[in-house]
Structure 1
Amino acid sequence: MSSPAVLPISNPQPAAGAAVPAAANSGQPQPPIATPAFRALINHLSNSLNNGLSQRRPWAELADRSAFSKPESLSDAALRVRKNYSYFRVNYLTVVAAVLAFSLITNPVSLIFLAALLAAWLFGYLFRPSDSPVVLFGRTFSDRETLGILIVLSVVVIFLTSVGSVLISALLAGVAVVCVHGAFRVPEDLFLDEQENASTGFLSFLGGAASNAAAAAAPAVASRV
């Protein structure tokens, strides 16, 4: 019994004039899209937020009415604020954030402007694929032109609309609440360790989140320089 004949196999060649993808022509991979970098930013911020909230003090301890008394002088009030901040800094940051969120929610126009500005920065510049230029009114804008437009837009939104006044008023109100509580809360029953006393600033809790966000955005920004 004879074996079947073996047929030759040849790779099909593209027809003359057929379009060949640019990536296959150049041998270079397509630039990655911005979704992984954006997800990395969200993960970094979420981890930093969860880590910070895990360090907060019990709210019952913050609102212990038996620990409140009038300060004897301004220097005594300032000392109380410093000590209470070292102990309750995560709680205080939460209070300021809550006041800021309440102010934005009660001012929906400012919230819409701020959300649109944030979206423009994230998806229009920081995490926009480098091979997708911004096209407005039939004109293509370079990365530098896009950055300049976003900076001007940020100045206009923050200083020429109600967004700036809402943010500043909310921050001042939150800081005022924190200072009043810190001045009247007696810190003698609080146990402060050296690490807490070495705190360098009111927003030191956000340092890790800011550095992580910068690290996540750095590759997208570097690709445009």
Structure 2
Amino acid sequence: MSSPLLQIPKSVSLNPSFRRFVSRVNDSVQRTLACRRPWLELLDFDTFSRPLSFSDATSRVRKNVSYFRVNYLALLSGVLAFSLLSHPFSLISLSLLISAWLFLYFFKPPEQPLILFTRTFSNHETLALLLLVTIIMLFFTSVGSLLISTTLLGGVIICIHGAFRDPVDLFIESQDEVSSTGFFSIANGASIRSATAAVRDVAALV
């Protein structure tokens, strides 16, 4: 019987780092969503007014982003999700790309090389291949332009809302409420170590 073209290590899904990563993502998302503001407060039209000047608008945006940061993040994620669902090819391509990075590099045991078309790839070669595929997908397909345009659209929506909502009734809390305990804390632990290893490998390739 011929060997498969691509052999993904079976131990990836059982890798403790991968399980900790999934658990950390789940816990962080739940903590972040628990910090969101009421959506009715976000959409209270009685608080909307025209900014007096450009500096007033930027000040409003800064205060509203600080207060509604979780709601804005959810809004941006929703716009991105809707855009990807409207473009199945980009959604599938991006999902495959993220899965390839996770399962073939970040959470693959270092002692298990990647086997593709009966050829064995070292970690450096796997990284180079993933970087090449990522560059091609982001710069030579519609995936990159879709992500950029969708992010800009979400940013415009957030800026318009932040500029026209008067934050005089808001109580601005400390900036580190979410950053220390929320979604971005998933970068700790195994994911940081994997990213550090990736940087070292990139430097070695260069």
Residue in 1 aligned with 2:57?
A: 77
Shift of 1:160: 0.8
How far did 1:208 drift?
A: 1.3
Contact 1:41–1:217 (CA<8 Å) still a contact in 2?
no
> In structure 1, how many angstroms separate the alpha carbons of the residues matched to 2:54 and 2:177?
22
Higher helix proportion, which one?
2
Provide the secondary structure at the position in 1 that maps to 2:108. Answer: coil
Alignment-derived partner of residue 125 in structure 1: 105
The equivalent of 2:187 in structure 1 is 210
Report % sequence identity.
46
- Residue 87 of structure 1 corresponds to 67
Q: CA deviation at 1:37?
A: 1.7
Matched, 1:113 2:113: no
1:165 aligns with 2:142: no
CA distance, structure 2, for counterparts of residue 213 and residue 97 of structure 1:
24
Q: Which residue of 1 aligns with 2:6?
A: none
Distance 2:61 2:177 in 1: 13
Which of the residues 121, 125, 150 maps onto 1:141?
121
Q: Summarize deviations over 1:177-221 as a string: whole Å, max 9, x none.
A: 10000000010111123x14x7899xx954312235624747997
Choose which of 61, 68, 71 in structure 1 pairs with 2:41: 61
Shift of 1:137: 2.0
Structure 1 position 44 matched with structure 2 position 24: yes
Q: SS state of the match for residue 68, structure 2?
A: helix
- Would you say how many aligned residue pairs link Structure 1 and Structure 2? 189
Specify the structure having the higher radius of gyration (Cα): 1
Contact 2:51 2:164 in 1 (8 A): yes
Q: Is the 8 A contact 1:80 1:186 kept in 2?
A: yes
TM-score, structure 2 as length reference: 0.82
Preserved CA contact (<8 Å) 2:29 2:182: no
Task: Give the 3 Å change call, closer, same or farther, for CA 132–212 of structure 1 in structure 2.
Answer: closer
* Cα 1:220–1:128 shift into 2, 3 Å: farther
> Structure 1 pair 183/219, CA: closer, same or farther in 2 (3 Å)?
closer
Indicate if the aligned counterparts of 1:86 and 1:199 stay in contact, CA closer than 8 A: no
- Shift in alpha-carbon separation, 1:135–1:128, aligned structure 2, 3 A: same
Partner SS, residue 135 of structure 1: strand
- Equivalent residue number for residue 156 of structure 2: 176
SS in 1 for 2:188: helix
TM-score under structure 1 length normalisation? 0.76
CA contact (8 A) 1:44 1:212 kept: no
Q: Which runs of 5+ in 2 are unaligned?
A: 1-9
Of the structure 1 ranges 67-76 and 130-139, higher mean CA displacement relative to structure 2 is found in: 130-139
Q: Distance in 1 between matches of 2:189 and 2:45?
A: 38
Matching residue's letter, 2:188: S
Alignment RMSD (CA, Å): 2.8
